[in-house]
């Protein structure tokens, strides 16, 4: 099987994303931080949004975050032309954006899992 993300075995996250994930678990929305990460990444992929630039450090093993290779399948399917390392970086960028977005919605009290990622009247194109 092709190694979609190259030789890298761990995924990284910024301090801010880690804080957001921790808070969302503390607030009872999520059981574990990996659940926040997966939902954040999927929200970023779905909406095509990315967050770049901030320094990132090791977060979790790829196998723990994507045990069913769903993110691998999606990323190779969407970005076959990218180098594995770039593909992985893009996935992390999606997750960074999505995690912050979920946290932001929980902060302002608009987090509604039944509508997460669906286009809204205010922001049809974005989410």
Footprint of another protein on this chain (CB under 8 A)? 1-2, 28-32, 35, 38-39, 41-43, 45-46, 68-70, 72-74, 76-78, 80, 112-117
Distance CA 101, CA 48 (A): 13
Closest distance of CB 35 from another protein, Å: 4
Strands (E), the chain: 10-14, 56-61
Which stretches within 13-54 are classed as H helix? Answer: 15-26, 33-47
CB 59 within 8 A of CB 12: yes
Considering the complex, state which of residue 55 and residue 124 has its C-beta at the smaller distance from another protein: 124
Residue 118 beta carbon to another protein: minimum distance, rounded to whole angstroms: 8
CB of 10 to another protein, least distance (A): 19
Task: Compare residues 26 and 53 and give the one whose CB is closer to another protein.
Answer: 26
**H or E, element range at 79:** none
Toward another protein, which CB reaches closer, 52 or 115? 115
Half-sphere exposure of 20 (CA within 13 A, CB side): 23
Least distance from another protein to the Cβ atom of residue 18, Å: 18
């Amino acid at each position: 099987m092709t190694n979609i993300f190259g030789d890298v075995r761990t995924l990284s996250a910024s301090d801010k994303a880690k804080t957001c994930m921790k808070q969302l678990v503390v607030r009872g929305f999520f059981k574990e931080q990996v659940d926040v990460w997966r939902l954040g990444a999927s929200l970023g992929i779905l909406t095509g949004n990315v967050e770049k630039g901030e320094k990132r450090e090791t977060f979790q093993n790829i196998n723990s975050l994507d045990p069913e290779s769903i993110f691998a399948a999606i990323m190779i399917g969407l970005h076959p032309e990218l180098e594995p390392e770039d593909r992985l970086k893009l996935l992390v960028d999606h997750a960074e954006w999505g995690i912050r977005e979920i946290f932001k919605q929980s902060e302002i009290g608009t987090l509604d899992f039944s509508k997460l990622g669906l286009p809204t009247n205010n922001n049809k194109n974005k989410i």
